Amino acid sequence: MNDTTFDIKKLFLWVKDHPDHSNVLPDELGLSYPVPIILHENNSTIVHMAFFHFYMGRINEALYKLTSPRHKTVVRLDGTIVESHSALSPSFGVDWDDSQYIGEYIPDPNMVNEQRIERRKRYFSLYNEILPLYIAKSDSLSDSEKALVSEFKSIFYIISHPPLLPYYKSLNPDFFNWLESQG
């Protein structure tokens, strides 16, 4: 993976299929979407992406139960694993009894699978476009850039399973504050 261009979907799939995870983590764990973490060291900007793994138990055709995260992974854009360990709610700063489900996920019954796949493709495409804007901490975006951020945010809030939002936000509150500040 190249650190100067962004292919967030490729990174997501790399983390999902990484042997360190597939050999250690149960197959039943789902992988979160990535959250960027920006570090500034020695006059350079380093981008990491944070993920967590969680259980998504199927109750029936239209209902899943979600657990709080069970594992946290942070990787560089080049795929180097920076951090990978078990993690429960307290390590995310969330007050939750991890023995309880955190909520339910009900797939949109009006969407066919192909539409879900297209939504995810659009999400990853938008991510590649907005990440440079976030890294640059662009506060005065053009109307077209604001539209990209707005569309990204809208899709993210749909596909990320709302009960998991506090965990996503805990990975990098600054990123979500930036998203919200862009309209």
Per-residue pLDDT of 65-103, as tens digits, reads 999 999 999 999 888 889 988 888 999 999 999 999 999
Q: What is the pLDDT of residue 24?
A: 64
Return mean pLDDT, the chain.
88
Q: What is the pLDDT of residue 23?
A: 64
Q: State mean pLDDT over 61-67.
A: 87
Q: Confidence class of residue 54 from pLDDT cuts 50, 70 and 90?
A: very high
Q: Residue 18 in contact with residue 67, Cβ under 8 Å?
A: no
Per-residue pLDDT of 166-178, as tens digits, reads 999 999 999 999 9
Longest dimension (CA), the chain: 52
Decide if pLDDT at 58 tops 90.
no
Higher pLDDT, 27 or 102: 102
Residue 2 Cα to chain centre, angstroms? 20
Q: What is the pLDDT of residue 174?
A: 95
Q: Residue 72 in contact with residue 52, Cβ under 8 Å?
A: yes
Distance CA 151, CA 172 (A): 20
Q: What is the pLDDT of residue 3?
A: 43
Phi-psi region of 9 (alpha: psi -120 to 50; beta: other; left: phi over 0): alpha
